Structure 1
Amino acid sequence: MRNYRYALLPLALAAACAHADDSLSLTDALTNGKVTIDSRLRMENVSDDAITKDANALTWRNRVGYKTAPWFGFTLFAELEDVRALDESYNSTANGRTQYPTVADPEGSEWDQAGIAWEPTPGSQLVVGRQRINLDNQRFFGSVGWRQNDQTFDAAAFTQTLGKNTTARYYYLQDAHRVFGHANPNPLLAEYDIGGHLVNVAHVFGPATLTGYGYFVENEDLPLTSNRIIGARLAGTHALNEPWKLLYTAEYAQQANWRDGAHAIDADYVLFEIGAARGAYAGKFSQERLGGDGHYAFQTPFATLHAFNGWADKFSVIPVNGLIDNAVLVNGPAGKLQWAASYHQYSADHGGADYGTEWDASLSYAFKQRFTALAKIASYDADSFARDTDKFWLSLEYKY
């Protein structure tokens, strides 16, 4: 544990005091802030042919947050989260019920966020403390909002807009608080002690965004996994005959060892998407390749993994032969409902083995401004990887 772990937060607080002016009411800033509430009740059923029993999880997640009004450009923020299990017939990774499939929503209470933000000038912001980090499409760094407990980081984040169309972001990371809960009996599931430097620069031109990034992460708990990722991403739209428009994404990244990382860490990432949208309806073909050579495959442990490679979550850890995910995804409205569906065909990047196929579908309904109901299903049909798995969710969420 490094002795400078929380050095940045006292420095930021000292800076706030140094810039304070007695003529401004700190009391008003503290009392005229914004309260946030997020309550989600969810049922998750998992049937995995590798495990005799089915999992039936009924969990209730509640968050309460507060952010002060600005005071000389400074704001304080905090968010407390609590997860309760109303039916614990599942393996939460912390409850010892390994006779059931895993539903990674353990009980517990913790601070999701807590820190200070400073905006010295328009377009500049420094945030120090525990916070969510969501970069681009969250393929490499995300808060994993699907799980009841978010992934957060103890970090210093600096954002600077450069002109009208360019935004540069830098993050210094110290701890990664994982979705498995800070009280998890397995300390490696609870959190990672890391030292990370993330750089992300995005430029918007017309309906497209070009992003370059470099992510350098040293994992002191698992030093052999320390790695760096360098890549670029282009995503945008192009107008076709009204009301149609073309959708496209192209991305490439290279992962290599960093600090004490294993020399075997050497893999490429490629994403290509092409599709079309007509009003609120959209469809696309996607090919995502996470390279592997039989010894190591491209890994993204800090991503919002549920959003990628199917909702059955069979590829949270990429097999050593890598993964090619060919998918068709469609979504749109149906009256007051929103629907989405996808079909995935999975194979190995190295050797070409067929892993399996999967189809997913969801239906959601937003009502009374603050409520959202969701039904969602995933069905994985195994070939040479893992076992057949079906998942089903029902949830009701309230946000204020």
Structure 2
Amino acid sequence: MGLLLCALPLAGRAADGLWQSLIGGKPDLFLRYRFEYADDARPTLKPAYASTLRSALGYRTGTFHDVSLYFQIQDVRVVGSEHTFNDGSNRVSDRALIADAESTEIQQYYLRYGGLPKTVLTLGRQEITHRPAPFQRFVGDVAWRQHFQSFDAVRVLSLALPKTILDYSYIWNVNRIFGEDNPLPDAADFRSNSHALNLQYSGLAGIKLEGYAYLLEFSSPRSRRFSTATAGLRVQGDRGLGSGLRLAYAGEFATQHDYSNNPNHIAVNYALAELGLSYAVGGILESLGLKYDYERLEGDGGARSFQTPLGTNHAFQGVADRFLITPGDGIQDHFVTFSARLSGVQISAVYHRFLSDRDGYAYGSEWDLQAERAFGSHFLAGLKWADYQADRNAINVARNSATSQAFDLTRFWAYVQYSY
């Protein structure tokens, strides 16, 4: 009886500590309204218009015995008519695709444990990224769309080794951007048995090394073409040249092979070379930048091309989204980026020239323009425009009309968002 009486205050304090951790957390809120226009030159499609609002409300508890919880609900609403665009599930087949379908769903819910030295374990539905937004080539949250991509996974993130980030995830389901209510096969989810490993080392002055391995296995007949094993290495860095001038560079190489249940024989490579200059001006014109990139995703025809099914692909090969899936003949992308910051407005202009990897014919070219400004620490507004002009050469028309790279595509966005 005495032991029981002694234990009661301890149990009471533990319960009180748990309660305080639950109510002593922090909420977060994200709101984004966006208007999008898409004019797809495929002969069966009319221009599309979408007016949508994304609302995401989350809550992170305090820590109790090194454990915290996070929960986030996401809602996407069409403001106005939902029949003026194809959202990927509404069966509006005579309009261009704008993949922002209405739905309400649990976007994230996970348990996080931080009791190990410089290591965090996360279990549950979570957003996973390995590089800063939006340039998440292999694993990303696709935060440009109103539905963000999340993963049902266990993740280990460790800083235990000096100047090293070790990031490993086992993923059993991918919650895709088309929403849980999408009836089309594989649109809502990719059932998965996948491993994602990323290592980053910053122990060399001005240089960052990144190595990665992605073993992706997807279970359905439609998605297993993306079951691949990818391994690669990236080197990037920058250095000051004096008088406000900086040089930035990056190089990357990866190899990809068919893996597990993939029915195709795949042996293709990826390469990137980047060189840029930036200049801190000062005054109203705060900065200027100029950058050249060459990116190559090999393809041997058919389904044998380098793919990145979990990446934020909107940020690559032009934001018009003609190349979200790498064509069978692969792609070479030569692009030049001009950037400036003027009175708080971030401006960019990008010109792309697209060639196939196999046979070297032209797909087309694209201009991408964007202006974006933050207002304080919570508000942001922007305008964005993309214009893809297809090359109508005989090979491109014959091989890529069915997958639409042989047709022009123009998109325009206006958006405003609030985050807390």
Q: TM-score band, normalised by the shorter chain?
A: over 0.9
Match of 2:210 in 1: 211
1:128 and 1:157 in contact (8 A); partners too = yes
Matched, 1:134 2:141: no
**Counterpart secondary structure, 1:202:** strand
Structure 1, residues 279-310: CA drift from partner, whole Å, max 9, x if none? Answer: 24322100000001123110111110111111
**Counterpart secondary structure, 1:162:** coil
1:314 and 1:386 in contact (8 A); partners too = no
User: Aligned AA for 2:123?
Assistant: V
User: Aligned AA for 2:353?
Assistant: Q
Matches within 5 A, 1:1-80: 22=14, 25-50=17-42, 51-80=44-73
Structure 1, residues 304-349: CA drift from partner, whole Å, max 9, x if none? Answer: 0111111100001111110000000122211121111100000001
Match of 2:360 in 1: 352
1:56 and 1:149 map into 2 onto residues whose CA distance is: 17
1:369 CA displacement: 2.7
1:273 and 1:24 map into 2 onto residues whose CA distance is: 55
Moved more, 134-143 or 301-310: 134-143
Match of 1:392 in 2: 412
2:339 and 2:347 in contact (8 A); partners too = yes
1:23 CA displacement: 7.7
Matches within 5 A, 1:216-295: 216-221=215-220, 222-279=223-280, 280-295=287-302
**Counterpart secondary structure, 1:53:** coil
User: Aligned AA for 1:113?
Assistant: Q
2:13 and 2:418 map into 1 onto residues whose CA distance is: 39
User: Aligned AA for 2:278?
Assistant: A
1:316 and 1:40 map into 2 onto residues whose CA distance is: 23
2:117 and 2:160 in contact (8 A); partners too = no
1:370 CA displacement: 1.1
Structure with greater Cα Rg: 2
Task: Pick the aligned partner of 2:106 from 99, 108, 111.
Answer: 111
2:359 and 2:378 map into 1 onto residues whose CA distance is: 49
1:175 and 1:193 map into 2 onto residues whose CA distance is: 5
1:130 and 1:52 map into 2 onto residues whose CA distance is: 36
1:225 and 1:262 in contact (8 A); partners too = no
User: Aligned AA for 2:181?
Assistant: A
1:253 and 1:315 map into 2 onto residues whose CA distance is: 19
Assess, with a 3 A threshold, how the Cα gap between structure 1 residues 52 and 215 changes in structure 2: closer, same or farther.
Answer: closer
1:23 and 1:297 map into 2 onto residues whose CA distance is: 56
**Counterpart secondary structure, 1:313:** coil
Match of 2:378 in 1: 370
| Pairwise CA RMSD | 1.5
1:45 and 1:393 in contact (8 A); partners too = yes
Structure 1, residues 40-85: CA drift from partner, whole Å, max 9, x if none? Answer: 1100000111044100000011000000111121110010000011
Moved more, 277-286 or 172-181: 277-286
Moved more, 205-214 or 172-181: 205-214
1:160 CA displacement: 1.2
User: Aligned AA for 2:199?
Assistant: V
User: Aligned AA for 1:307?
Assistant: A
Match of 1:6 in 2: none
1:225 and 1:62 map into 2 onto residues whose CA distance is: 31
2:15 and 2:56 map into 1 onto residues whose CA distance is: 34
1:325 and 1:344 in contact (8 A); partners too = yes
Match of 2:283 in 1: none
1:373 CA displacement: 0.8
Match of 2:388 in 1: 380
1:285 and 1:329 in contact (8 A); partners too = yes
1:24 and 1:71 in contact (8 A); partners too = no
1:262 CA displacement: 2.8
**Counterpart secondary structure, 1:120:** strand
1:373 and 1:148 map into 2 onto residues whose CA distance is: 15
**Counterpart secondary structure, 1:27:** helix
**Counterpart secondary structure, 1:187:** coil
1:229 and 1:254 in contact (8 A); partners too = yes
Match of 1:151 in 2: 149
- TM-score, length basis structure 1: 0.92
2:367 and 2:274 map into 1 onto residues whose CA distance is: 18
Matches within 5 A, 1:320-331: 320-331=328-339
Assess, with a 3 A threshold, how the Cα gap between structure 1 residues 21 and 261 changes in structure 2: closer, same or farther.
Answer: farther
Equivalent pairs counted in the alignment come to 381
1:372 and 1:345 map into 2 onto residues whose CA distance is: 30
Match of 2:175 in 1: 177
Unaligned runs of 5+ in 2: 1-11, 281-286, 397-404
- TM-score, length basis structure 2: 0.88
1:312 and 1:391 map into 2 onto residues whose CA distance is: 6
Please list every run of at least 4 consecutive aligned residues from structure 1 whose deviation after the TM superposition is greater than 6 angstroms: none
Moved more, 340-349 or 385-394: 385-394
1:163 CA displacement: 3.5
| Percent of pairs with identical residues | 33
